[in-house]
Amino acid sequence: MDVGERDLQQCADAVIRLRAEYLYGIGQYDKIHFNFTNGFRADYSTWMEGKRIQVQGNDVTWVNQTGYADDYASFRKYLDMVFAYAGTLSLSKELKKVPLEEIKIGDVFIEGGSPGHCVIVVDMAENKDTGEKLFLLAQSYMPAQDIHILKNPKKGNGNPWYSTDFGETLITPEWKFDREDLKRFED
């Protein structure tokens, strides 16, 4: 996935991008929406209608600007707008908490703030005999980077798998998250 030409696709943006790309790919355009830090809800379905987002200071509005467009180039422009005005703070408020025992692909460990950080669960495996659940995490970082799978610093040898039995603190190469930092997008 391209990073784009601006330094925008950082940690929260990578989570937003993966969710949006998935929903775009399966044609569920009406589920693509994200909140800006000031609370403005940026719906892709409104963007497709030809409206564009106008930002003046802390005031954000939709303005009629063009015709209907659902092509990929327009979708990427929408994402760049979201990347510019959303972040870990807004994303952490938008997501709902979930217990670690209910972790699933697409869930996010997130600490909102400035700075804040987030990583996304991109795969899972379960040992049917013991019930142990393992998961893979992906992230971007600052400056904007390709989305990449994280190594588990506790495992050594570049092992990327994390166990849900990590105790109270999930340690990643760049950040530490609490068990309670696990959140999920609402459908």
* SS3 label, residue 112: coil
Residue 65 confidence (pLDDT): 92
Contact 56, 63 (CB under 8 A): no
pLDDT of residue 12: 86
CA 102 remoteness from chain centre? 18
Of 36, 76, 83, whose CA–CA distance to 60 is shortest?
36
Per-chain mean pLDDT for the chain: 90
Instruction: Please list the alpha-helical segments (H only) found in the chain.
Output: 11-25, 44-48, 72-85, 88-94
Q: Which of 110, 104, 87 is nearest to 164 (CA)?
A: 104
Q: Is the dihedral of CA 165, 166, 167, 168 positive or negative?
A: negative
Sign of CA dihedral 152, 153, 159, 164: negative
Q: What is the CA radius of gyration of the chain?
A: 17
Residue 7, CA distances (Å) to 80, 117, 125 in order: 10, 16, 34
20-67 pLDDT per residue, tens = 999 999 999 999 999 999 999 999 999 999 999 999 988 999 999 999
Ranges of residues in the chain with a pLDDT under 70 are 1-10, 141-145
pLDDT at 124: 97
- At 37 the pLDDT is 92
**What pLDDT does residue 10 have?**
63
Residue 108's pLDDT is what? 96
* E strands present in the chain: 33-35, 41-43, 51-56, 59-64, 96-97, 108-111, 117-126, 133-139, 148-149, 162-163, 169-171, 176-178, 182-184
